[in-house]
Chain A
Amino acid sequence: MEQNPQSPSDTASKSGLRRVAIDPVSRVEGHGKITLMLDAENHIHEARFHIVEFRGFEKFIQGRPYWEVPFFVQRLCGICPVSHQLAAAKAVDQLVGVENLTPTATKLRRMLHFGQVLQSHALHFFHLSSPDLLFGFGSDPKLRNIVGMLEKYPDLALKGVKLRKYGQQIIAAIAGKRIHGTATVPGGVNKALSLAEREILLADIDDILMWSQDAVMLNEQIHTAHAEHRGFAAINSNFLSMIGRGGELELYHGGLRARRSDGSRLFDQFDYRGYQQIIREEVRPWSYMKFPYLIELGRQQGWYRVGPLARVNNCDFISTPLAEAARKRFREFGNGDSVQDTLAYHWARMIEALHCAESIQDLLHDPDIAGTDLVADLGDKRREGIGVIEAPRGTLFHHYQIDEQGLIEKANLIVSTTSNNQAMNESVRSVANEYLDGNEISEGLLNHLEVAVRAYDPCLSCATHALGKMPLQVELLDANGTLLDRLSKGGNGRIERAA
């Protein structure tokens, strides 16, 4: 294996470093776990962020009928089930030979997805991240949560709750339920939007737009006013995202675009059904999760980031005016280049939330949205389908092969957090390098590591259940693999040091 001195966090094969086994219990309980490994000179040599694995699902799905898959896989994630349903549904459309949905079905699916992204982004910013950003990374963890937010910034916190609720309302109107609903069927959707439902959704959209704008402004101010946010957890990465036909920001359907870390384009408008020609997934012995990379750039240099930062950087424009104006300011901040700041994820995320709100408004006024032509004519059956969508956390790949009876033979999923796997490790290493002092993990270091990881909005199970109180454990190992220190923070914010 070629070694790259530029990327010391990929040194699994280097001697003098012991591999650390992942404690499966900590995964089940939904703890995030970070292992920092020192070299002989006591510098950070490697950083590993251990995350929950998704491979199990690919096995469970085998032998299940293809039409069940969108509803089976949406149980993968408690925050973005709709994204999984839609990615799988797009693959299923191919299995039943449908290239184009009816205008109403396309628009309903798009609106469903905008609702999903809006609610996920609102949850992430207002519940999980705004406490870090508004109270400061080092502030008392007991205050640094949604409860503290409600006390100190009641107005802002309330807007967050309502934005999220609106996204859920959209989902419920189209999928029948806020969570685990059913909207898609092969080649379309199962339910028209009634005029009454449309009226109810229209009644609140002006407020939603206003609050989304406020959220963008707030994030813009936070990021531009704090110089220390710029370089925090800094890495220089490639970016991958879906892109619309005209180069616009696109969350539901389009081609793939990748930019190198220097901003140059690697490929554009690539048909995602050929994703295996451009992305390979590397397996590493210490992690259940795979490490995807862009084949053309190679295993060492090919890792990339996905999600809001990648999308807002990658696109040429946004099709809705308010979000586009916000994107331009974002671009100016980056002097016309990609913004690499890890914490700019938050800013980009709110630009997208605003785009979702605007798009929902447009769709609600579109006559097709209340149409009743819901399912396209099915074509010839196919044995393979690949569906890709931009989930809140980034590009999401669903790939299925079925047998002649319609049962899943093989499935491959690349979830967004997997794509960000290497980037999160790099960011963690960057923070550790900056904040580790001696052989002890300080509380400040733990807090900063948490902020870095959270910028990516990884879909750890703990990120959902603890609402901002992510249980996290950090371990420090020396060059021989001996444990030097271990610090953990429980869901209640209590810090404990292992003896």
Chain B
Amino acid sequence: MEAKAETAANTINIDGQEIPFEHGQTIMDAAFAAGVYIPHLCHRPGLTPHGSCKLCTVDIRNRISASSTSDRRRQTKFTVDADSRSVSACTTPAAAGQQISSNTPALNEVRKTITQMLFIEGNHLCPSCEKSGDCTLQAVAYHLGMLDGHFPQFFPRREVDASHPTVMLDRDRCILCELCVRASREVDGKNVFAIAGRGTAAHLIVNSPSGKLADSDLETGDMAVHICPVGAILIKEQGYEVPIGRRTFDLHHLGEAGLEKVVLAKTVYRDE
């Protein structure tokens, strides 16, 4: 195989494109560095990978087994790529010679289903949500061509915490990505958020004596306040200030290099 011959010791191959990586990088890191977009929601460069949203699922074939055989079973749909395995790109280390499929109709279909489930598990009512146009979940849904929620809505009614003077928590929109949990611990040097409960009972909690944001040491400038990919953690009283046409995803697309910085930098706060 030609590809085999060209694959260098320190590259991986994503959808036919050779991508260099450095030791210690995950597939997601290498893809990021090369400007290749793998859909993701719970990942942010610089924070410990979490691997929970599963949106970054990719298939890896071992190159030896890749299309080297003419076994007829391969042509039946049940046994396609018997040697491939699905992994989370954000947690799987890049290894030389990995043949990775990411942007395929089948994988994007799975991603769409995951996104639909995230939508119906919370109250993601885009037309009235202040995060609309700045919301990564919404952008991912557009990117994947999601047109409806498909599954019946949960319509949860979890507690809204507006006790903090500048920050508000709307748990009905939380997708449990734990970005805020990690940002608070790893960047802000605090431990404001955590996830409690399991399955559909899982929810975001605040580590403070009363369980309220007002009693936590959260401050407006904390990264944890700005990192939420949906409209669950919000700066109070600032919604809708950016007109339609100038919101993040009016101007940028998801795969754009440096978008993560744009998203964080976009949040300006009043008390500065």
B is a partner of A: yes
A190 is an interface residue with CB less than 8 A from chain B:
yes
Contact B162 A65, beta carbon cutoff 8 Å? yes
Contact B237 A72, beta carbon cutoff 8 Å? no
CB contact between A177 and one of B163, B236, B244 (< 8 Å): that residue:
B244
Contact B240 A185, beta carbon cutoff 8 Å? yes
Q: How far does the Cβ of A79 sit from chain B's closest Cβ, in whole Å?
A: 15
B window 138-187: CB within 8 A of A: 160, 162-163, 168
With the chains together, A184 CA to B129 CA distance in Å?
Answer: 14
Contact B127 A190, beta carbon cutoff 8 Å? no
With the chains together, A68 CA to B239 CA distance in Å?
Answer: 7
Contacts of B127 in A (CB 8 A): 71, 75, 180
Contact B236 A71, beta carbon cutoff 8 Å? no
B197 is an interface residue with CB less than 8 A from chain A:
no
B window 91-125: CB within 8 A of A: 125
Query: Of all chain B residues, which has the CB nearest A174?
Result: B243
Classify chain A's interface size: 20 to 34
Contacts of A386 in B (CB 8 A): none
B3 is an interface residue with CB less than 8 A from chain A:
no
A83 is an interface residue with CB less than 8 A from chain B:
no
Contact B162 A71, beta carbon cutoff 8 Å? no
With A75-B128, A407-B160, A407-B162 as known contacts, state yes or no: A176 contacts B241, CB within 8 Å: no
With A65-B162, A176-B243, A181-B244 as known contacts, state yes or no: A74 contacts B128, CB within 8 Å: yes
A67 is an interface residue with CB less than 8 A from chain B:
yes
Q: How far does the Cβ of A414 sit from chain B's closest Cβ, in whole Å?
A: 21
Contact B242 A190, beta carbon cutoff 8 Å? yes
Q: How far does the Cβ of B130 sit from chain A's closest Cβ, in whole Å?
A: 6
Q: Mark A154-184, 1 if CB is under 8 A from B, else 0.
A: 0000000000000000000001110011111
Query: Of all chain B residues, which has the CB nearest A186?
Result: B237
A63 is an interface residue with CB less than 8 A from chain B:
yes
Q: How far does the Cβ of B202 sit from chain A's closest Cβ, in whole Å?
A: 21
A window 127-179: CB within 8 A of B: 175-177
With the chains together, A67 CA to B242 CA distance in Å?
Answer: 14
Contact B168 A65, beta carbon cutoff 8 Å? yes
B199 is an interface residue with CB less than 8 A from chain A:
no
Q: How far does the Cβ of B126 sit from chain A's closest Cβ, in whole Å?
A: 9
With A67-B237, A176-B243, A186-B237 as known contacts, state yes or no: A406 contacts B130, CB within 8 Å: no
**Residue from B130, B163, B237 having most chain A Cβ neighbours under 10 A:** B237
Query: Of all chain B residues, which has the CB nearest A179?
Result: B127
Contact B237 A406, beta carbon cutoff 8 Å? yes
Interface of B is mostly: loop
With A176-B245, A182-B243, A185-B241 as known contacts, state yes or no: A68 contacts B160, CB within 8 Å: no
With the chains together, A64 CA to B231 CA distance in Å?
Answer: 13
CB contact between A190 and one of B162, B163, B243 (< 8 Å): that residue:
B243
With the chains together, A499 CA to B127 CA distance in Å?
Answer: 43
Contacts of A63 in B (CB 8 A): 160
With the chains together, A74 CA to B127 CA distance in Å?
Answer: 9
Query: Of all chain B residues, which has the CB nearest A184?
Result: B240
Contact B244 A68, beta carbon cutoff 8 Å? no
A191 is an interface residue with CB less than 8 A from chain B:
yes
Contact B128 A406, beta carbon cutoff 8 Å? no
A15 is an interface residue with CB less than 8 A from chain B:
no
Contacts of A191 in B (CB 8 A): 243, 245
With the chains together, A190 CA to B246 CA distance in Å?
Answer: 11
Contacts of B245 in A (CB 8 A): 176, 191
With the chains together, A326 CA to B245 CA distance in Å?
Answer: 39
Query: Of all chain B residues, which has the CB nearest A176?
Result: B244
Q: How far does the Cβ of A495 sit from chain B's closest Cβ, in whole Å?
A: 34
Q: How far does the Cβ of B62 sit from chain A's closest Cβ, in whole Å?
A: 49
A405 is an interface residue with CB less than 8 A from chain B:
yes
Query: Of all chain A residues, which has the CB nearest B231?
Result: A68
With the chains together, A186 CA to B240 CA distance in Å?
Answer: 10
Contact A67 B244, beta carbon cutoff 8 Å? no
Contacts of A176 in B (CB 8 A): 243-245
Query: Of all chain B residues, which has the CB nearest A189?
Result: B243
With the chains together, A67 CA to B238 CA distance in Å?
Answer: 8
Q: Mark A60-96, 1 if CB is under 8 A from B, else 0.
A: 0001110110111011000000000000000000000
Q: Mark B39-67, 1 if CB is under 8 A from A, else 0.
A: 00000000000000000000000000000
Contacts of B163 in A (CB 8 A): 405
With the chains together, A484 CA to B100 CA distance in Å?
Answer: 71
Contacts of B242 in A (CB 8 A): 190
**Residue from B128, B129, B239 having most chain A Cβ neighbours under 10 A:** B128
Q: How far does the Cβ of B145 sit from chain A's closest Cβ, in whole Å?
A: 21
Q: How far does the Cβ of B242 sit from chain A's closest Cβ, in whole Å?
A: 7
Contacts of A405 in B (CB 8 A): 162-163
With the chains together, A186 CA to B160 CA distance in Å?
Answer: 21
Contact B243 A67, beta carbon cutoff 8 Å? no
Contacts of A185 in B (CB 8 A): 240-241
Contact A72 B128, beta carbon cutoff 8 Å? yes
Query: Of all chain A residues, which has the CB nearest B162?
Result: A405
CB contact between A67 and one of B125, B129, B160, B239 (< 8 Å): that residue:
B239
With the chains together, A190 CA to B162 CA distance in Å?
Answer: 24
Query: Of all chain A residues, which has the CB nearest B126?
Result: A180
Query: Of all chain B residues, which has the CB nearest A188?
Result: B241
With A181-B244, A190-B243 as known contacts, state yes or no: A67 contacts B162, CB within 8 Å: no
CB contact between B162 and one of A75, A175, A180, A406 (< 8 Å): that residue:
A406
Contact A71 B128, beta carbon cutoff 8 Å? yes
With the chains together, A318 CA to B103 CA distance in Å?
Answer: 61
Contact B128 A68, beta carbon cutoff 8 Å? yes
With A63-B160, A65-B168, A71-B128 as known contacts, state yes or no: A406 contacts B241, CB within 8 Å: no
Contact A190 B240, beta carbon cutoff 8 Å? yes
With the chains together, A180 CA to B238 CA distance in Å?
Answer: 18
The 10 closest A-B pairs by CB, nearest first: A176-B244, A191-B243, A405-B162, A71-B128, A180-B127, A72-B128, A182-B240, A190-B243, A67-B239, A407-B162
A-B contact list, 9 entries, CB within 8 Å: A65-B160, A65-B237, A65-B239, A71-B240, A182-B243, A183-B243, A185-B240, A190-B240, A407-B162
Q: A68-B239, A186-B237, A406-B162 are in contact. List 7 more A-B contacts (CB 8 A).
A: A65-B160, A65-B162, A72-B128, A176-B244, A176-B245, A177-B244, A182-B240
